[in-house]
Structures are given as structure tokens and as C-alpha cells.
Amino acid sequence: MGRSPDVVVVGAGVVGASCAYYLAAAGVSVRLYDRSYVASGSSGSCEGNVLAWDKELERELPLALRSGDLWQGLSAELDDFEYDRKGSIVVAETEAELLACAERNRVLAGLGVEGEVLDADALRREEPYAAHDLPGGVLYPADAQLEPRLATAALVRGAVRLGAELVTDVTVKAILRGADGRATGVETSSGRVGADMVVIAAGVWTPKLLETAGLTVPVTPRKGQIVVLERSPVVFRRKLSEAGYVAAVEADDAALQIAMVVESTPSGTALLGSSRQHVGFDREVELGVAGAIARRAARFFPVLNDARALRVYAGLRPLTPDHVPIIGPFAEAPNICVATGHEGAGIGLAPATGELVALWHTGAPSPVPIEWFSPDRFAPVELAAS
């Protein structure tokens, strides 16, 4: 396979693909590994949201805004991945929710997110299929949708065109560290590979791989299911989410969380979400959960009562305790970089994550401080001796 790369990236999901792409664009020698195939994990089991309105405001939102700009540029630079800056609507179910949505929109406007509060009539002009008792919502016109598998593959092909190597069906079994704590490479199912830096972008499997180097990150799997409807003349103009979506995302208990998400695709199908469950690494579809997703969607859009499901799929979101991604090196292992913990926002935040890793590696200035996302923020605080 030739000489050792400067950087090994583990995980060919959208985050790892983005890291490989931006590192290669910076002139870095990169080798991207996946134990299976491109987008075989969570990136192949999600909706493709590029949203700003639902993000944590201090750290995650600046990353999302940067990523939104990058996705728009990538849509012109890379192979087609069905990018559509169609906008999204946060739909309120009650007057109280509408007031809360309007207040969040006011806060977001001060942080650079454009939004427009819709009353009931305006909501139905945007989405005629909305239930007649819904009081309104907020339109965020800059939000976008893309096809996540196509987007991940496009990033990988872009990275390869820039000189990166892709290696699939090879498992990275361990990270190798020297006496000084720095990584010296990785052990794979095909042998040992040296590298000056190792980037772990393996989603929910990141902690297990880091353990081989004596490192930890608090990332746990959170299962989500998507219902795909058969092709239909019913088309939703925007991406649609209920106001309670943020509460479902931020919930920390193990109970099943269901929040309405509806969107039409270019192929004529529609996607229904979303669910959140703490069930370990179980990726099996649960039809009871799929039914709950469908019923919640039909409450907001009654036309869906007559829809038929084509298929259901499930994926595992990498969740952190503070609901903010982990991006960057460890103080004790300064050339082992983590890029994970994006939970349900991996697609939306991927380009900015990859850019951040590449800029950090090359020492270039970054539009978003990587220190905000450091894995060391979870290190135990040692109490000073009294």
C-alpha cells in the first residue's frame, strides 16, 4: 500500500469522510479506514438534516452555521448528493409552544439565524396539509436537506481525488502509543500502519477503540428509527419538525422519546421521524416504535393517516453527556484526535468538524475554536489538597 500516511482516519461515515476531505484539501497525506463500507453506520441510517434552529447556542450553533455554509459550497464542488436548501418549519402544537418558538427565534436572530414567525394561516399557506388546529410555527429558510449516503460517498470521492486513500473491509483493532504518550500508528486486521496523527471518527464505537490506547470519552449509543413512506402525490415543501423536538433531543432519561419530523425526498417518498432510545447497541427495528412515529406525524399532518410504509430502518447516534460533539486531541495524547458525539446532528455538523480537524492539524486559524469541543472537558477535576 506504499508509504505510511501522515494521518490515519478511522471511520468512513460522514464525519470521518469530512475529516479526510479537508485534510487532503490541505495537502496532508491521509488514509481513511472503515471496517465495512462507506456510510455503513449511522450516516447510512439517518435523514440528512442541515439545521441551525435546534442547536446548543454557545458552541454547537457557531459550528452549525459554519457547516451550513460549507455544505452549500460542497453542493457545487462535489458529485450530486441531492442538496436542497428548502428551509424548515418548526411547528407548534399549542399557543404556549408558539410563544416559546417565537422567543427562541428572537434569540436565534441575535446570533445570526434568520427566521419568520408564522400564524395559523401562514403555516397552512406554507404547508396546506397541516392540521387545522395548529396555531403556527417558525420558518427557518436557510435550513437544508441532503441525501446522507450520497453526501458521504461524495466527500470520500472528493478526498480520493485530492490524494487520500480509502481502505474498506479492514478493521482498525488498536491505536499504538509510544513511551511519550503520542500515537505512532494503528494496528489493523491487515497489519501495522505508522502515522503521525490518528483521527477517530467511529461514532458510537469510538470509546471501544480509544480504550486500546488507554483513553476514554463518554459517548453512548442512542437508537433512532426512520419510517420511509411509499411514493405519493403528497409533497411537503419544507422540512417539518415539531416544537417539542429540542426537548426530545435534550432529554437525558432512558424512556422512549418521539418527536414529529416529516420531509419529502426528491424520489417522491417521505421520511418520518424521530425516535430516541437508550437500548445499547441494538439496531433492530421495532415496529411498535415505527407505529408511534407514524401516529405522531399524522397528528400534525392528517393526510398521512392514509400513507403506507415502504420500509423502516434504525441507527445509533453517538451521544455525549452535555449534548455537544467531541472534537480535538487529548492533552495526554496530543496527536490522537477525536471527532464524534454529534448525536443526531452528524450530517449537519460534519463539514465544519472536518475543517476544524484539518485547520488544527496544519496550525491554521479556525473560525470556531476547537477548544470548545475538547475531550478533556470530561476529565475528572482533581481537588486541590487542603
Residue type, 43: S
- Give the span between the Cα atoms of 260 and 241, in whole angstroms: 6
* Residue ranges for the chain with pLDDT beneath 50: 383-386
Q: Where are the beta strands (DSSP E) in 77-231?
A: 88-92, 116-119, 136-140, 144-145, 165-168, 172-177, 183-188, 191-194, 197-200, 220-229
Please, what is the Cα angle at 15 between 10 and 18, to 5 degrees? Answer: 95
SS3 185: strand
**Predicted pLDDT at 381:** 60
Q: What is the DSSP letter of 39?
A: T
pLDDT, position 383: 45
State pLDDT tens for residues 298-319: 999 999 999 999 999 999 999 9
Show the domains of the chain with their CATH numbers.
7-66+148-218+323-378 (3.50.50.60), 88-141+220-319 (3.30.9.10)
Residue 277 DSSP one-character state: B
Map grid coordinates 441494538 to a residue. Answer: 282
CA atoms of 256 and 246, how far apart (whole Å): 14
Name the grid cell of 303.
Answer: 393526510
DSSP character for 268?
Answer: S
Q: pTM here?
A: 0.96
Name the CA dihedral angle for 163, 345, 284, 17, rounded to a multiple of 10 degrees.
Answer: 0
Q: Which residues contact 139 (CB under 8 A, 6 or more apart)?
A: 87, 88, 89, 115, 116, 118, 126, 238
Q: List residues bridging with 84 in a β-sheet.
A: 145
Hey, what's the cell of 39? Answer: 456510510
Digit-coded pLDDT (tens) for 51-108: 999 999 999 999 999 999 999 999 999 999 999 999 999 999 999 999 999 999 999 9
278 close to 220: Cβ distance less than 8 angstroms: yes
